[in-house]
């Protein structure tokens, strides 16, 4: 597909007959959906999401398509906030001409970003789960102004609640592994090197799984992350301001005591 005309006919495959994302299209590349806030017309923020998604995933030009007919309303560049794509009312489908990513703008108040993880890094950063959680808060805050966000938030809830304290984290989660590493290190059951490798690895797995934390647990983890930035596994590379094993251990003990 090389031009807007070719993309227009094929864009119908992005949606099903009910003007929703087609399951077959979503299954290609394991696409995910993240609801995002929107106004009564396409604005700079909404169009920039698509442009940034194109940038991170390598998408090309953008088509604005009428979901009901599948006909192209206009075509724009992938550059942020192409003026030809601004001020357009819903229902509207913004889709790249190579069909790598799309934003469905079904009604005032919300839109649905859909694509692979690479596209979503630009279009809806901070991961799918966090994006869905933020939209849930937005939907509650704007209840009564728009009719669609609340039902959309219920359709796309985050998979995990945001845990607040260590005692509320379920066993078997990557977040629980982070806490286990902290307890073992504080009690002397693992070395500083083991902690410095294992804890960040558990943190990455937690983020990849969409597990979420909130204060005070979020602050606790942020402080541990900062501690490890000043710690080197190899003493040869420990600078004047670097932390020793014992200094990191005592800090972790203190943080765990405050949290629990």
Kindly give, in sequence order, each residue whose CB lies less than 8 Å from that of residue 203, ignoring residues fewer than 6 positions away: 174, 178, 221, 225
pLDDT at 100: 74
**Contact (CB, 8 A) for 102 and 49:** no
pTM over 0.75, yes/no: no
pLDDT at 127: 63
Angle between helices 217-229 and 192-208 (to 10 degrees): 130
**198 vs 188: CA distance, rounded Å:** 15
pLDDT at 110: 94
**Contact (CB, 8 A) for 95 and 11:** yes
Tell me the average confidence (pLDDT) per consecutive run of 10 residues in the chain, 260 residues long.
42 80 85 88 80 61 76 61 81 82 90 68 57 86 90 82 84 92 94 93 84 87 91 65 83 86
pLDDT at 150: 92
Kindly give, in sequence order, each residue whose CB lies less than 8 Å from that of residue 200, ignoring residues fewer than 6 positions away: 225, 228
């Amino acid at each position: 597909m090389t031009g807007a005309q070719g993309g227009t006919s094929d864009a119908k495959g992005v949606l099903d007959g009910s003007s929703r994302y087609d399951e077959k299209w979503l299954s290609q590349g394991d696409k995910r959906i993240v609801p995002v806030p929107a106004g009564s017309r396409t604005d700079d923020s909404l169009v920039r999401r698509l442009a940034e998604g194109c940038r991170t995933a390598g998408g090309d030009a953008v088509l604005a398509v009428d979901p009901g007919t599948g006909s192209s309303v206009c075509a724009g560049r992938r550059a942020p906030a192409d003026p030809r794509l601004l001020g357009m009312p819903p229902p509207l489908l913004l889709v790249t001409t190579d069909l790598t990513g799309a934003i469905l703008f079904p009604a005032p108040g919300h839109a649905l970003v859909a694509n692979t993880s690479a596209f979503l890094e630009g279009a809806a950063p901070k991961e799918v789960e966090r994006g869905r959680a933020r939209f849930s808060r937005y939907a509650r805050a704007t209840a009564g102004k728009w009719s669609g966000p609340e039902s959309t938030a219920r359709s796309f809830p985050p998979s995990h609640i945001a845990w607040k304290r260590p005692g509320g984290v379920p066993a078997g989660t990557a977040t629980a592994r982070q806490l286990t590493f902290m307890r073992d290190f504080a009690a002397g059951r693992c070395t500083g090197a083991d902690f410095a490798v294992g804890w960040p690895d558990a943190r990455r797995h937690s983020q990849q799984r969409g597990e979420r934390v909130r204060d005070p647990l979020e602050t606790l983890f942020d402080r541990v992350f900062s501690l490890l930035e000043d710690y080197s596994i190899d003493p040869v590379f420990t600078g004047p301001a670097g932390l020793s094993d014992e200094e990191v251990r005592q800090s972790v003990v203190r943080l765990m005591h405050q949290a629990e």
